[in-house]
Amino acid sequence: GENVEQHPSTLSVQEGDSAVIKCTYSDSASNYFPWYKQELGKGPQLIIDIRSNVGEKKDQRIAVTLNKTAKHFSLHITETQPEDSAVYFCAASQGTGGFKTIFGAGTRLFVKA
């Protein structure tokens, strides 16, 4: 079946360093790629998303890149802060309204002060 692979499963960085999380997807029909941050005891919250007609998107310290040919997309967080510590999920969906959304297994990010 369709799937989304996410790496690494755990990432530890020093405050101020950059963090990179990578995902690959299998469904060539996927056209929307959101990234979610989940803190303990809370539901996932969207932090950035990218659509298939765009190769890169940036929002302050967060950027996402998409390579549709290779079916890869990545999350880049620069100047990391302790409050960035959380679990991050990538996802891929196709169609309208999030139809067939598949999540990656998650990356637990630790930012050490």
Partner 1 sequence: EAGVAQSPRYKIIEKRQSVAFWCNPISGHATLYWYQQILGQGPKLLIQFQNNGVVDDSQLPKDRFSAERLKGVDSTLKIQPAKLEDSAVYLCASSRPGAGTEAFFGQGTRLTVV
* H/E segment holding residue 49: strand 45-51
Q: Which stretch binds partner 1 (CB under 8 A): 13-21, 58-66, 67-75, 97-105?
A: 97-105
Give the shortest CB-47-to-partner 1 separation in angstroms. 10
Q: Of the ranges 11-19, 64-72, 76-84, 99-107, which one interacts with partner 1 (CB under 8 A)?
A: 99-107
Q: Which residue in 66, 75, 91, 109 binds partner 1 (CB under 8 A)? A: 91
Among 13, 27, 31, 74, binds partner 1 (CB under 8 A): 31
Range list of β-strands (E), 4-95: 4-7, 10-14, 19-25, 32-38, 45-51, 56-59, 62-67, 72-77, 86-92
| Interface stretch with partner 1, choices 12-20, 56-64, 71-79, 104-112 (CB under 8 A) | 104-112
Task: Answer for the pair 56, 63: CB distance below 8 angstroms, yes or no.
Answer: yes
- For residue 38, the minimal CB distance to partner 1 (Å) is 8
Report the distance separating Cα 19 and Cα 3, nearest Å. 23
When asked if residue 110 is in the footprint of partner 1 (CB under 8 A), the reply is no
